[in-house]
Amino acid sequence: MSQSFVPVPANSDFPLENLPYAVFSTENNKVHRICVAIGEHVLDLKAVSQLYPFQVQKSLQAETLNELMGLDFEAWDVVRSQTQKLLTKGSELDHNVDLKAVSIVPQSEIKLHLPAQIGDYTDFYSSIHHATNVGIMFRGPDNALMPNWRHLPVGYHGRASSVVVSGTPIRRPLGQTFPDGAEKPVFGACKLLDFELEMAFFIGGKGNQLGEPIRVDDAWKNVFGFTLMNDWSARDIQKWEYVPLGPFTAKNLGTTISPWVVPTAALKPFLLDNFPQEPEVLPYLRQNIPFNFDINLEVSLKPADQNEALISKSNFKHLYWTPLQQIAHHTVTGCNLRPGDLMASGTISGETPDSYGSLLELCWKGTKTLELPGGKTRKFLQDFDEVIIRGHCEKHGLRIGFGECVGQVLPAHPVPQ
């Protein structure tokens, strides 16, 4: 890969090989624009859109990524290739001093927004280690996985309106719970608030018409790119409400995503074999191409007025069900997907306790205590705690990062009288 004329510090998340997309504005220009990250700067794609082929220019002038997502994978490759060329030393952009001055913007001077208008949001349950851990806690080791779990990607439809960009505070929810030993439900602030370490991908391409499934080996054409996610969870509310239809208010309080969307093409050097599946899945889910990635994930917890502490290290490769299988199952009924739809992995946990992707697991349903620096402890999140999720791939000196996914817990509203 050639060298960028924009400086890229060592160990940066955003080298020329990455170029994650985001939507930003500045103090002197409140209009939302599309950009890519390069080192500690961004390239304003609207400002340089005239340097791209005509058929993609309009999508680069939009205020969200939806229009670009709605093009096909060949158009995404055209945009990515041209962006890399423009950012290379000696390029047309490098020689245009005036255009460089307005199109290359320090990240310290921008405000980042949700990257897309999210029409629909689906959350899967794709980590076998997480599903097994939760099953053991609530049903015992002999019935840890439900009978359907190894046969289909379990999921549910989430609430798109409460998906927020990194940095947005999350209010502790109010709700109904049924505490142990109680005779009837009570109403009040959630006491068992948790994070969930997840990744998500945005749907792109032309989508599919209502009634037309997407074949599993064609589904890659519909994966625009990946982002970090924290799907906040109110465990005590969920325990009381989830039977028989699954989580509802316990999950709609907020879902945080990183502002950066790493294109699938940037992850190709980190492809792995898919997670082994036993028993063999039904034909519509049999995937013949690899679509698993070696993405290192970590979670840090920062109590108020304290330094952050690393509490979990996991990896995307632990997912049993791939994004392509998720798309194939989601659409097998003929459900139509649209550009900008968000699909989440579910909590990503590894095999060892230090790789668990939630406090529910790290503290094993509140029976263990998480020790933090300075003598602080946690079993679940407290007010003003900040959760920071990071992710990156690294191989042969190449690092592709996802930035950060950050959210702070605010106190609940007063209980209505």
Indicate which residues carry an active-site annotation. Answer: 130
Annotated binding residue at 242?
yes
Annotated binding residue at 21?
no
- As a whole number of angstroms, the distance between CA 142 and CA 55 comes to 57
Whether 86 contacts 47, CB under 8 Å: no
Annotated binding residue at 251?
yes
β-strands 342-344, 292-293 pairing: unpaired
- As a whole number of angstroms, the distance between CA 37 and CA 382 comes to 33
CA atoms within a 13 Å half-sphere pointing along the CA-CB vector of 2: 13
Whether 1 contacts 16, CB under 8 Å: yes
- As a whole number of angstroms, the distance between CA 335 and CA 225 comes to 21
Would you state the structure tokens that stand for residue 294, as one six-digit string? 């070696």
Annotated binding residue at 109?
no
Annotated binding residue at 123?
yes
Question: ω before 323 within 30° of 0 (cis)?
Answer: no
Annotated binding residue at 117?
no
How many of the other CB atoms lie within 10 Å of CB of 151? 14
Q: What are phi and psi of 164, to 5 degrees?
A: -130, 160
How many of the other CB atoms lie within 10 Å of CB of 376? 14
Annotated binding residue at 368?
no
CA atoms within a 13 Å half-sphere pointing along the CA-CB vector of 213: 14
- As a whole number of angstroms, the distance between CA 229 and CA 286 comes to 27
- As a whole number of angstroms, the distance between CA 374 and CA 234 comes to 26
Whether 359 contacts 367, CB under 8 Å: no
For residue 7, the surrounding DSSP H or E stretch is none
- As a whole number of angstroms, the distance between CA 293 and CA 322 comes to 10
Secondary structure class of 86 (helix, strand, coil): helix
Annotated binding residue at 17?
no
- As a whole number of angstroms, the distance between CA 398 and CA 191 comes to 42
Annotated binding residue at 347?
yes
Which residues have CB under 8 Å from 183's CB, separation 6+? none
Annotated binding residue at 298?
no
Annotated binding residue at 333?
no
Helices (H), 150-256: 235-241
Chain centre to alpha carbon of residue 98: 36
Gyration radius of the chain over CA positions: 22
Which residue numbers belong to the known binding site for Ca(2+)? 123, 196, 198, 231
Which residue numbers belong to the known binding site? 123, 125, 139, 196, 198, 231, 238, 242, 251, 255, 347
Which residue numbers belong to the known binding site for substrate? 125, 139, 238, 242, 347
Which residue numbers belong to the known binding site for Mg(2+)? 231, 251, 255
